Amino acid sequence: MPCSSPDPRLAEQLAGWLEDLGLADQLAAAGLPTYVRDAGGVRWTDPASGDPLGPDRLVELDRLLRAQGDDPAHAVPVALVQLRRETRLRQSLLEHGSLDYAGVAALRGTSENAARFALHKAAGRRAVLLVQHEGATLVPSFQLDEAGEVRHELLAVLETLLAAGLDPWRAWIWLTSPAALLGGAVPHEAARDPEELPVVQRAAVALAERARAPQR
């Protein structure tokens, strides 16, 4: 007859392994079971029901997270690593890389209402990247010139990404991070060079195609 509670050694080992990798705080965001430590040890919880995780589910979770790599003892849960990277990039962008309507209005020398109207009209044409965060609309600043207008060389790139339904956060991160398809160059910076712009556009097309692929 199977035991009704998880192996406490496995519960502790899995938690400790994730903590050593710095990935424990990404479990909830990934929709995976989470855990807490108390006097009784490590207690894992099912995200759907809120109930204690059963022994079979814990074994399954351990197997899932160690599935990457040839040696399960040293595998790394790639999805959680990517989520951690994305979380850190989002925080950096939030701190240093966006404007609100008032900020754009100041650059354009117009009213906040006029800036809001113009931005949403442009967004409808996929001519500007807007990102929603905690009920507010953010305007990533990399795409704007000194006058607060969208840089003309980025228009085709933005249209390609947004037409593919790419998540705005993912588009923001890709455009402002070193890209493998560009030899490590940052897309929006490389786009300033007329000779590099076609390469950036082709890379955007490739990313857009990958974004569409799961929906086929």
pLDDT digits 0-9 by tens, 84-138: 666 666 676 677 788 999 999 999 999 999 999 999 999 999 999 999 988 889 9
More confident residue, 32 or 123: 123
Is 60 exceeded by the pLDDT of residue 74?
Answer: no
CA atoms of 42 and 44, how far apart (whole Å): 7
**Last-in-domain residue among 49, 70, 91:** 91
Which range (27-31, 49-53, 70-74, 200-204) has the least confidence?
A: 70-74
Residue with tokens 């990102």: 131
Task: Choose the final residue of a domain: 43, 67, 91.
Answer: 91
Residue 112 and residue 207 in one domain? yes
Please tell me whether residues 37 and 73 are part of one structural domain: yes
CA separation (Å) from 103 to 30, 89, 154? 33, 22, 20
Q: What φ, ψ does residue 132 adopt, rounded to 5°?
A: -90, 135
Do 87 and 102 sit in the same domain of this protein? no
Q: Among 76, 91, 106, which residue terminates a domain?
A: 91
pLDDT at position 66 over 80: no
Shared domain check, 123 and 208:
yes
Whether 177 and 199 share a structural domain = yes
* 3-state DSSP of 20-48: HHCCHHHCCCCCCCEEEEECCEEEEECCC
Calpha distance 196→205 (Å, rounded): 15
Alpha carbon distance 85, 204 (integer Å): 21
Q: Are 122 and 150 in contact (CB under 8 A)?
A: yes
> What is the pTM (predicted TM-score) of this model?
0.62
Name residues whose C-beta falls within 8 Å of residue 205's C-beta, 6 or more positions apart in sequence.
160
Please tell me whether residues 84 and 102 are part of one structural domain. no
Q: Is residue 109 part of a domain?
A: yes
Query: Rounded to whole angstroms, how far apart are CA atoms 45 and 22?
Result: 19
With respect to residue 124, please indicate whether it lies within any of the assigned structural domains: yes
State how many domains the chain has: 2
Half-sphere exposure of 174 (CA within 13 A, CB side): 23
Is residue 1 included in any domain, yes or no? no
What is the residue whose two structure tokens read 């989002």?
90
Residue % of the chain over a pLDDT of 90 = 40
Flag whether 72 is in a domain. Answer: yes
Query: Crossing angle, helix 155-163 and helix 168-175, to 10 degrees?
Result: 140
Domain assignment of residue 199, yes or no: yes
3-state SS assignment for residue 132:
strand
User: 123 and 206, same structural domain?
Assistant: yes
Report residue 179's pLDDT band, with 50, 70 and 90 as the boundaries: confident
| Cα–Cα distance, 148 to 48 (Å, whole number) | 45
Domain that residue 27 falls in: 8-91
